[in-house]
A and B are shown apart, each in its own frame.
Chain A
């Protein structure tokens, strides 16, 4: 598989407004290889450097040091070869002209890419339908709601059929349904394309990243902290399995379970109002669970509930970054 994007020690400094000769590094030594034909996620808290990276790759900003190749072309001096084959959509952007309708605005942007009008209009019609925006095709865009406008921006990114597409928080402002449709649309677009399409996606929504991205980079303070498939990231974090077991607590001494073979860590707390004790086990192997259950049964206590804890991307993120991803709406999506 060939490489869509390759960066080597990519760094970007901005003049620090506080101290005069001091630089502030928005990106530091980022080395990435993004294969063609995948959705690649950039996950990180506010100010991590995601947009900065996307701006460099989309030829709007130059690196301070290091190198970035997009489709094999250097962003520094071969940007004219990159622009025809990329596009970008940012959440909350406000593009176009209020005096034109949705369809006219989209048409205008296709013309900047030299697409023949007939071909462009057919494509716009299709995409408006997919995004449930057909009935607004002839509405002036100053009369659209925020979400509708975001859908239009989103269509603008696809209508030029780019090889590489940058999506910077594209579902910002969309309702739950629209966000879900959007994610499905992107996934299908990459999957069903006749030539390989690559999407670079930044998001604050864990679920979005987990669900859509073949590979993910977790980024904070301008540095890449991890870079793997969501599955591997979760596995790395777990380092074993974890169970929660609830037992009726009268006279039960949980300490006797601590020393069972295979239990690597153990914690317990009393859930008074339910008359239960809750124990959380980290096990080095699954077979230890049988020993725990056996022990509890042999003491004639009854188990009310056993739950295997699934590690989420959020757990991996917290471990790597040291804090939750700000916002946290990812949980409710």
Chain B
């Protein structure tokens, strides 16, 4: 990609992100929906552990899982499924028409709501600290941060792969996303260590980058983390790197391929499918 292309795409990312950032400011009620309601299931899980007198680190797992849920939801509904609405509203036609890459549009969307997602993550942790009295034992801040970023990169790429299906399908692609939501909550071990699932299921769940990301972050941030480890942190980080690269290449390929098929079949910008 030339410098010019890069600048064009960065401008595009910022412009698309701007819509969301401004949106939150202009409609503050969004914040309540985005921040307050998602906290309720997290708290209920935490109270279950508490009433069972589980070690406080287990409450920490729930809080960490809850924070990552916010990010997964953002990618699923704020990025991939957003293409459904863009298609219906006619904006998708203009995204295809313009010279910016489709990936830039998607990243712009995710970063735009990243702002409110970030608050959600912070508030989740504050609740963990203040209400449930969780204490962190960070083994390495560097690796904790690196794992977090890697997880985000892999999840964004996976989200872009999912978004590509909206270039061809409307409601069908929407249904696929719905299927992805609940089982992912279960498989990725948002609220419990994935080791509990056993190796075969755990390995399958590892295809979802959040699973290994969470497992590694638990090990790096909590005293009890290493006891519940699915794989060693180093292995998990290596797999995350591989997954990120794989999903990024996959997203690039699928976005291009499905755009081409969409143009061929006359479905690229077809509405009301």
Q: Of the candidates B4, B11, B12, B97, which one forms a contact with A59 in the assembled complex, judged by CB atoms under 8 Å apart?
A: B97
Interface residues on B, range: 20 to 34
Nearest-neighbor residue (CB-CB) of A64 within chain B: B264
Tell me whether A99 and B19 are in contact in the complex, defined as CB-CB below 8 angstroms, given that A61-B263, A93-B90 are known contacts. Answer: yes
Whether the Cβ atoms of A99 and B27 lie closer than 8 Å is yes
Knowing A14-B266, A94-B89, A114-B7, say if A99 contacts B26 (CB, 8 Å).
Answer: yes
Which among A88, A100, A113 is the interface contact of B100 at CB below 8 angstroms?
A: A113
Rounded to whole angstroms, the CA-CA distance of A269 and B11 in the bound complex is 70
In the bound assembly, the distance between CA atoms of A90 and B269 in angstroms comes to 13
Is B18 on the interface with A (CB-CB < 8 A)?
A: yes
- Beyond A62-B263, A99-B27, is A113–B98 a contact (Cβ under 8 Å)? yes
B15 touches A107 (CB 8 A): yes
Tell me if B269 and A96 are in contact (CB < 8 A): no
**B90–A113 CB distance below 8 A:** no
Cβ contact within 8 Å between B100 and A95: no
Do residues A59 and B263 form an inter-chain contact, with CB atoms below 8 A?
Answer: yes
Is B44 part of the binding interface, using a Cβ–Cβ cutoff of 8 Å?
no
* A104 part of interface (Cβ distance < 8 Å): yes
Closest beta carbon of chain B to A79's beta carbon, Å: 8
Q: Is the CB of A60 within 8 A of B263?
A: yes
A61 to B96 Cα, complex, angstroms: 11
Contact of A112 among B7, B26, B95, B260 (CB under 8 A): B95
Which chain B residues border A107 with CB–CB below 8 Å?
15
A330 CA to B163 CA, complexed, in Å: 43
In the complex, which residues of chain A have a beta carbon less than 8 angstroms from the beta carbon of B93?
60, 93, 95
Q: Which of chain B's residues have a CB closer than 8 A to the CB of A320? A: none
Per the CB 8 Å criterion, the residue count for chain A at the interface is 30
- A83–B19 contact, CB under 8 A? no
B52 interface hit (Cβ, 8 Å)? no
Answer yes or no: B87 CB below 8 A from chain A CBs. Answer: no
Q: Which residues from B are CB-within-8-Å of A83? A: 97-99
Q: Is A58 an interface residue (CB 8 A)?
A: yes
One of A86, A95, A100, A111 near B11 (C-beta < 8 A): A111
Pick the contact of A108: B19, B26, B90 (CB < 8 A).
B19
Q: Mark A24-61, 1 if CB is under 8 A from B, else 0.
A: 00000000000000000000000000000001001111
A96 touches B263 (CB 8 A): no
Q: Which of A142-169 contact B (CB under 8 A)?
A: none
Ranked nearest first, the 6 interchain pairs of A and B with the lowest CB-CB distance are A114-B8, A111-B15, A112-B98, A84-B99, A83-B99, A111-B11
- 17 A–B pairs (Cβ distance < 8 Å), ordered by A: A14-B266, A59-B96, A59-B263, A60-B93, A60-B268, A60-B269, A61-B266, A62-B264, A83-B97, A97-B91, A99-B27, A100-B19, A104-B22, A108-B18, A111-B14, A112-B12, A112-B100
A residues engaging B (CB < 8 A)? 12, 14, 55, 58-62, 80, 83-84, 86-88, 93-97, 99-100, 104, 107-109, 111-115
- Taking A61-B266, A112-B105 as given, write out 8 further A-B residue pairs in contact, using a Cβ cutoff of 8 Å, ordered by the A residue number: A12-B266, A83-B97, A86-B97, A93-B90, A97-B19, A100-B19, A112-B12, A114-B100
